[in-house]
Structure 1
Amino acid sequence: MKKRLGGKTVEEWVATFPILKEIVGMREVLWLNPGYGQAVPNLVSGSDVADAEERLHRFAPYIEAAFPESRPSEGIIESPLRETSTMKQFLHRASGVDIFGRLMMKADSELPISGSIKARGGLYEVLKTAEDLAVRQGLLKLSDDYSELANASFKKFFSRYSIAVGSTGNLGLSIGIVGAKLGFRTTVHMSRDAQQWKKDLLREKGAEVCEYDADYSVAVTEGRKLAEQDPRCHFIDDENSKDLFVGYATAGSRLKEQFQEQGIEVDADHPLFVYLPCGVGGGPGGVTFGLKLAFGENVHAFFVEPTHSPSFLLGLLTGLNDQVSVQDFGLDNRTAADGLAVPKPSAFVGRAAGHLISGCITVDDDRLFQFLRGLKDTENVWVEPSAAAGLIGPQMILGTAEGRSYLEVCRLTEKMPTATHLFWATGGGMVPEKIREAYYERAARI
C-alpha cells in the first residue's frame, strides 16, 4: 500500500502541483507562495522583538568583556552591509540575465564569535537562559552591569546547569562557544552532515559533542530526549524555539539603520528583495519577521534551499509543515550545503512566518560552488557553500516566467531599476583556510 501524506499519495500531490515534478527531479525552481500576505494568528509580536533588542543591549557589556573581537562594536553583534557591484557583473555573465537594480551582501559570515547567522538566534537564547537563571536566584538585576557575568563566581553558578542543542554545524558552534564561555555544561548533538572542523572547534572551546551517523532530525530528536531526563538542562530546540526566532528577528531594525546610514531607500518605488538560505527555517523565518516589521510590504523575502533538501518549500506547498519530509518525495537530503541539509522544516516557523514569505527557490550544489568562487574572485570575500545560496535569487526573479509573474502581480516590473537585491551570506567566517582552498578547487573543477 502506498504511503499517504495528508491523505494523498505522492503521485496525487504531483498531479495537484505539477511543479513537484521539477522538485522531485532535483531541478532548480522558483515557487511562489499562494499564502503570502494572508492574515494568520500572531505567534510572535513586535514587542517580543523589542524585548529581545533590549536584552541584547543589556548583555553588550558582557559580550565585550568575554569576546574581545566584539570590542569595536561595543558588544553589539552585527555584520557589515556591502554593495557587490562586481559580483553583479559576474552573475550577469554567468546567467545571461540582466540584474536590474543594486546587488548587496549582508555579511553574517563575518558576525563576531561564530561567523554565521546563528550568532544572532543561538547566542540570544543562551544569553536569555543565563539571565533568567541569574535573576531567578537573585544574583542579577536588570539594572546591573552585565559585564559582571564574566566573573568566576557566575561561571561557577552556571556550571550547575546544562545547555543542549541538535545541529548540522553552525547553530551548534554559536551555542557551544557562548554556552561554554558562560560556564554551562554544553552538549551539541551533531548530524553526519556536520563538518569535522566544527566538531573539533567545539571540543576545543569546552563543549561536548555527540555524533550521529544520521541526519539532522535524528540529532535533534536524540538531543531532546536526553535533555528531558535532566531537570537542569535547557534544550535549545531549533525546530520550535520562539527565543531563537526573535533573536534572529532583531536583524530587521539593524538592517534598516544600515540602509539609512548608507543613504539607500526602501519604499514603494525602491523595493527590497532579500534572498535567505534556509535549513529548518528558524534563521530566515526570524529575519523575515524582523524585515517585515522594518519595511512592511516593501520587502520581498525568498528562501533558498538545495535541490536535494527543499524541506521548507515542501512544507509550505503541501501545507503539512513538519509532517512532510524530503525523503517522502524520494529526495536524499544529501548536499554540500551542510547547514541546509534538513529533511523536515520547523512547524513553528511555518505558522509564524509562512505568510510573510514571497516564495522559495531551489539551487544546485554545483552552482553554490560557482557562486562561492565568483564571490572570492570578484569581491575577495569567503563564504561557505550554503551561504552562497542567495546569489541565485536575482536571476530567478528577473530571468524566469515565475519571477516575472511575481513582479507583474505586485506591480514592480517598472521599479526594478531602483530595486535592491540583498543576498544574506549566512556563514563561513570561521572556515579553516585548508577547507576554503578545497572549496575553491572543487569550484574550479565544475
Structure 2
Amino acid sequence: MIAGKTFNQWCQSHPLFVPIAATAPVCWTNTKLQDAKFALNALTITPSQLSDAAARLERFGGYLAQQFPQLPSNGLIESPLVCGAPLLQQLNKDPNQVAIKNLWLKCDHQLPISGSIKARGGFHEILKHAEQLAIAHNLISVTDDYRQLTTKPCLDLFAQHSIVVGSTGNLGLAIGIISAKLGFNVTVHMSDDAKQWKKDKLRQHGVTVIEHQGDYGVAVEAGRAISENDPNSHFVDDENSVDLFMGYAVAALRLEQQLKDQGIVVDQDHPLFVYLPCGVGGAPGGITWGLKTIFNNNVHCFFAEPTHSPAMLLGLYTELHQDISVNDLAIDNKTQADGLAVGRPSGFVGKALQHLINGCYTLEDDRLFELLALTYQTMGLTIEPSAAASIAGPATIMSDPHYLKQQGLLNKVDNINHIAWTTGGDMVPWQQMSQFIAKGQRLLTQ
C-alpha cells in the first residue's frame, strides 16, 4: 500500500506509475502549474532572503579570494554560460529526435574549488553559520573585512564547533572543503554509492568521512542523529535547509546578468527553458525558485532524474512529496549518476515548487554516458553522468506538442533558448572520466 492505495489503484489514477515502476524513461508535465507570481506570493520564502544571501556571498568575497587563489579577485564562485552549438549540431543529427535551436550550457561542472553546483548552496550555508558565530562572539560585524576570520580568535572559536552533513558525494565535498578551510571540525556521512575519489579528496582536506552500508537517506539520518546530541554541532540538512536553498537561488541572479551580457532576451516571445539534474531537490529547487522570481512565467524549469531514482518526479506527480519513496514502487535507487541517487525527495522543495515546476523527465544510465561522451567529443567538456541528465532535456520536452500548445508556444519554438545545467564533473580524476567517456563512445557506436 502507498498512502492507503494499492499499486493498481495508483496505476489507474496516475497512468505514469506503470512506466515509472518499470524504470522506463518518462516525461511528466505539471498539470497543477499556476501563474508564477501567484504561486510565489503564497510561499513563506521571499525575495528579501535571496538578496540577503547574495549580499552575504559578496561580503565573503575578500576572504574567499584570499583563501582560494583560483578565484577571481572579487571572490565570487561562478561558472560560465557557454554556447552549445557544437554539441547541438551533433544532437540534431539523431533522426529520432526533434531538432533544437539555441542550446546553452551553464557550466557548474567548472565551478572552482569543489567542481559542482553544490559549492553554491554548501558554501553559503557554512559561510552564514561562521558569520553568525563570529558576530555573536563580537569578533566581526557585517561592515568589517571578512579576512579577519583568519585571525586566531576566530580560528579558536570555529575549532570548538563542528559541521555534520550526509551526502552521496558532491555536497559533502563542498561542505567539507569550506568548513575545513574555516577551521571547523567536519564529519561527512557518505552513502554506499559515493565515489571513492570523493571520499579520498575529503580526507586529504582533513575531513572525517564515515561510510554507510545504505543509500543517501541512511547517510543523512546518521548524520542528523549524531549532530543532535552535540550543542556545538551544526547539521547541514540537505532535505530542508533554507540556507542551502538560497545559496543555490543566487545562481539565478548571476544567470540574469550573464544572459544580458550574451544579448539573450527573456520575455513572452522569447521563453527560457532550463533543465536541471535533480537528486533530493535542493539545488534545482533553489535555482528554479530564483529563476521564477526573476522571469516569472517566461522561464520553464524541468528536473532530470535517472529512471532508477525518480524521487522528485514521484513526490510531485503523486503530491505525496517526502511521504513516497522509489522503494514503494520496488525501484532499487541504483544509478551511476551518484549525485542523483536519492530515493525520497525533499518535502520542503516539493511543496515550494508544486505550482512552479514545469515538469520532470527521466532517462536511463546508458543515455547519460552517451550524452557525457558527446559533450566531450564536441566541446571538450568533462561532465559527470549526473550532469549529463540536463542535456537530454530539450529534445525530450520539445517532443511533447501538447505541452507547447498548452503554453501557447507552438509558433515560438525557434525563439526558445535552452539551458542545460551541467552540475558537476571537473574534479573527477581523469582515469575515471576517461572510462566514462569510453563507455559512452561504445554505447554510441552500438
- Sort the TM-score into its range (normalised by shorter chain): over 0.9
Give 3-state SS (helix, strand or coil) of 2:358's partner.
strand
Give 3-state SS (helix, strand or coil) of 1:413's partner.
coil
* CA–CA separation in structure 2 for the residues paired with 1:283 and 1:392: 19
Q: How many residues align?
A: 439
* CA–CA separation in structure 2 for the residues paired with 1:410 and 1:359: 13
Give 3-state SS (helix, strand or coil) of 2:376's partner.
helix
2:162 aligns with 162
1:218 aligns with 218
1:56 aligns with 57
Give 3-state SS (helix, strand or coil) of 2:360's partner.
strand
* CA–CA separation in structure 2 for the residues paired with 1:251 and 1:43: 20
Question: Aligned partner of 1:334: which letter?
Answer: K
1:32 aligns with 29
**Per-residue deviation, 1:117:** 0.4
**Per-residue deviation, 1:95:** 5.4
- 2:441 maps to 1:444: yes
Of residues 187-196 and 351-360 in structure 1, the stretch that sits farther from structure 2 once superposed is 351-360
* CA–CA separation in structure 2 for the residues paired with 1:426 and 1:73: 24
1:286 aligns with 286
**Per-residue deviation, 1:34:** 1.6
Give 3-state SS (helix, strand or coil) of 1:163's partner.
strand
Unaligned runs of 5+ residues in structure 2 are none
Deviations along 1:237-256, whole A, 9 cap, x unmatched? 00110110011001111101
* CA–CA separation in structure 2 for the residues paired with 1:417 and 1:444: 30
Aligned partners of 1:114 and 1:174 also within 8 Å: yes
Selected match of 1:17 from 14, 32, 36:
14
* CA–CA separation in structure 2 for the residues paired with 1:289 and 1:350: 11
Deviations along 1:140-184, whole A, 9 cap, x unmatched? 100000112133442222010000000000000000000000000
Deviations along 1:47-81, whole A, 9 cap, x unmatched? 110110111111111110111111x2520111000
The aligned runs of 1:140-179 (5 Å cut-off) are 140-179=140-179
* CA–CA separation in structure 1 for the residues paired with 2:94 and 2:300: 24
Give 3-state SS (helix, strand or coil) of 2:411's partner.
helix
* CA–CA separation in structure 2 for the residues paired with 1:200 and 1:375: 27
* CA–CA separation in structure 2 for the residues paired with 1:331 and 1:89: 35
* CA–CA separation in structure 1 for the residues paired with 2:138 and 2:416: 51
Give 3-state SS (helix, strand or coil) of 1:56's partner.
helix
Aligned partners of 1:65 and 1:150 also within 8 Å: no
Give 3-state SS (helix, strand or coil) of 2:115's partner.
coil
- 2:373 maps to 1:373: yes
* CA–CA separation in structure 1 for the residues paired with 2:22 and 2:393: 20
2:334 aligns with 334
**Per-residue deviation, 1:441:** 1.7
Deviations along 1:329-371, whole A, 9 cap, x unmatched? 0110000000000000000001122221000000110000000
**Per-residue deviation, 1:28:** 1.0
* CA–CA separation in structure 2 for the residues paired with 1:384 and 1:186: 25
Deviations along 1:28-48, whole A, 9 cap, x unmatched? 111011222265531311111
Aligned partners of 1:95 and 1:395 also within 8 Å: no
Aligned partners of 1:281 and 1:349 also within 8 Å: yes
Q: State the TM-score, normalizing by the size of structure 2.
A: 0.97
Aligned-residue CA RMSD in angstroms? 1.1
Aligned partners of 2:369 and 2:385 also within 8 Å: yes
1:136 aligns with 136
**Per-residue deviation, 1:212:** 0.3
Aligned partners of 1:100 and 1:419 also within 8 Å: no
Q: State the TM-score, normalizing by the size of structure 1.
A: 0.97
Question: Aligned partner of 1:46: which letter?
Answer: P
2:120 aligns with 120
Deviations along 1:314-335, whole A, 9 cap, x unmatched? 0011111111100100110000
Counting aligned pairs with the same residue, the percent is 49
Aligned partners of 1:336 and 1:385 also within 8 Å: yes
Aligned partners of 1:99 and 1:394 also within 8 Å: no
* CA–CA separation in structure 2 for the residues paired with 1:371 and 1:148: 45
* CA–CA separation in structure 1 for the residues paired with 2:134 and 2:95: 54
Give 3-state SS (helix, strand or coil) of 2:94's partner.
helix
**Per-residue deviation, 1:19:** 1.3
Unaligned runs of 5+ residues in structure 1 are none
2:267 aligns with 267
Question: Aligned partner of 2:288: which letter?
Answer: T
* CA–CA separation in structure 2 for the residues paired with 1:8 and 1:215: 26
1:67 aligns with 68
Of residues 103-112 and 33-42 in structure 1, the stretch that sits farther from structure 2 once superposed is 33-42
- 2:430 maps to 1:430: no
C-alpha change, 1:348 and 1:438, in structure 2 (3 Å) is same
* CA–CA separation in structure 1 for the residues paired with 2:251 and 2:122: 13
**Per-residue deviation, 1:22:** 1.1
